[in-house]
Amino acid sequence: MKASNFYALSINPQLNRSIFFKNGRFDITGILRSNPHKQCNLVVAGSFGVGASLFPGCHYHHLATYNVPTRKASRSCRVRSEDCGGILSGESILLNEQTLERELQIAIEEENYAKAAKIRDSLKLLQEDSKASVLAANARFYNSFRNGDLASMQALWSKGDHVCVVHPGVSGISSHDLVMGSWEFVWADYDFPLQIEIKDLQVHVRGDIGYVTCIEMVKTKGSNWGRQFATNVFERIDGQWFMSVHHASYVDL
């Protein structure tokens, strides 16, 4: 099994964690959360610095070594609004939506139903703006990513076997449960909140499918910036946008 130009991580029968980019190398640390007495096959590649002892009951095959150059430039330590070339920031849209929802709740509690009706209309218009809604969903994704919030990440993703995540250097992982397991595994050794910047954001919507392309720059504590090109695909279900694909590939351009 391959991902891009190097081997991917393959764990059978169940994958709970992907390899991830750290300090210029693809790393895997920790232990499987599945039954340690079950036999599984593990194929890894990269500069890991871990041995087969981390995975009891697994057959370990070290196939290759692949070092990735780190990005040297430093960045600010906050999640910044997306630079989207004139398109409204997903963060600002999400903030507007949350503000309207709070104002609506206050108006209802105060029994000011005329005001509540106007706020509800404004909220509906914002949510019916397809590009704005996709950008807001994209902002929720990166907020979950930044904070390591698995519950909000689970709520954001569509349910089913068709969903897929591609972490940098790893082949695709499909089905909702395995996708969520991969995020939990990737986050296991991170200190939150992460530092994330989103650049060159573009959004496209056709019917009930929307997607965002962007450069995501992620920095974990004590590491250099990792720069990935990301494609985030969303599908509209009952008027709400859910993520169905996240594909991130490491770049150094």
Number of CB atoms found within 10 A of residue 20's CB = 25
> Closest Cα to residue 69, out of 218, 199, 220, 227?
227
Q: Would you state the structure tokens that stand for residue 158, as one six-digit string?
A: 């569509």
Q: What is the band of 127 on the pLDDT scale with cuts at 50, 70, 90?
A: low
90-148+190-250: which CATH topology?
A: Nuclear Transport Factor 2; Chain: A, (3.10.450)
| Domain residue ranges of the chain, discontinuous segments joined by + | 2-62, 90-148+190-250
105-120: pLDDT as tens digits: 999 999 999 999 999 9
- Is the model's pLDDT at 39 over the cut of 70? no
Spatial separation of the C-alpha atoms in residues 156 and 243, rounded to whole Å: 6
- Is the model's pLDDT at 25 over the cut of 80? no
Q: Match 């994958």 to its residue by tokens.
A: 15
In order of 21, 47, 60, 91, 123, the CA distances from 88 in angstroms are 30, 40, 48, 9, 16
Spatial separation of the C-alpha atoms in residues 95 and 99, rounded to whole Å: 6
197-206: pLDDT as tens digits: 999 999 998 8
- pTM score: 0.57
Q: Is 87 exposed, middle or buried (0-12, 13-18, 19+ CB in 10 A)?
A: middle
pLDDT of residue 158: 97
Mean pLDDT over the full length of the chain: 71
